[in-house]
Amino acid sequence: MCGRFSQTQDPGELAPRFEARNLVPDWTPRYNIAPTQNAAVVLALAEGRVLQLMRWGLVPFWARDETIGAKMINARSETLSQKPAFRKLFERQRCLVVADGYYEWRKSGVLKEPFRFVLNSGEPFAMAGLYDRWPLTGLETFTVITTQANELARSVHDRMPVLLEPSQYAAWLDFKYHDIAALERFLAPFPATRMKCFRVSPRVNSPRHDDPQCITPLPSQDGFPGFNA
C-alpha cells in the first residue's frame, strides 16, 4: 500500500517538470503527507496540464458522505477494471500524484519501523492516481494506485505505489485515451535498480509531525540487505 508520502520540491521546479501551466497556490514543503490531507496532483484539462491541490482519500461522486475517503486512499491495480468505485475513473479521470518519496513500514516484533523510498536520482516522480469530484460540496479527492512490490520494496511490504515513467504521462493524463489494455501495462512495479530506501525516524508515524526530520536517513541495520542511503 501507500500510506504516507512527501512533496518537498519548490513549485517553480515542479511545474516545468510536469509541463503544468500554473504553480500551486499557498505551497509549503510537505514531509509527511497523510490520508485526508491535501496534496498536489497533475490533471490534463482542455487548456493544458495544471497542478492542483486535492484531498487524499477518494470520495466517489455517488458516496453518501465523505468519510468513505479515509478507506479509499489506495486502489489495487489488479482490480481497477472490476471495482465500481474505480472502473469509470480509470477510463477517464486519471491524475499524476506528485511526490519525491513515499513511506512504508516493516514489522519488527511488536514495533513497526518506517522506511523511505526514493529514486536514486533524488528527482520527484509521479504516482499513478485517480480522482473524482463529490457533487454535494464540490470536494475533489484522489487515490493512489498500488501494484505488487519490486525486489527492493518487498523487503518491507508486498505492495508499492505505481510509479509512472515520464514517457507515460501524456497517455495517462489524456481523458480521451481509453485503451485500457495499454494503460494496464503501465501499472507494473517500478525497476528496483532505480530506487533506494532507508530507515527514518518514528516521527513519521504521527501525521502531526511534518518537518525535515521525517526524511532524514537513519543508519542501516546489519543483516538486513537491500537498504542503503
Active-site positions? Answer: 2, 104
Torsion of CA 81, 86, 87, 89, to 10 degrees: -130
Q: What is the residue whose three cell numbers read 500554473?
A: 22
DSSP 37: S
CB 104 within 8 A of CB 156: yes
Cβ atoms < 10 Å from Cβ of 227: 17
DSSP 165: P
| 54 closest CA partner among 84, 96, 82, 83 | 96
Residue 104 CA from chain centroid, whole number? 12
CB 81 within 8 A of CB 65: no
Cβ atoms < 10 Å from Cβ of 205: 18
CB 130 within 8 A of CB 86: yes
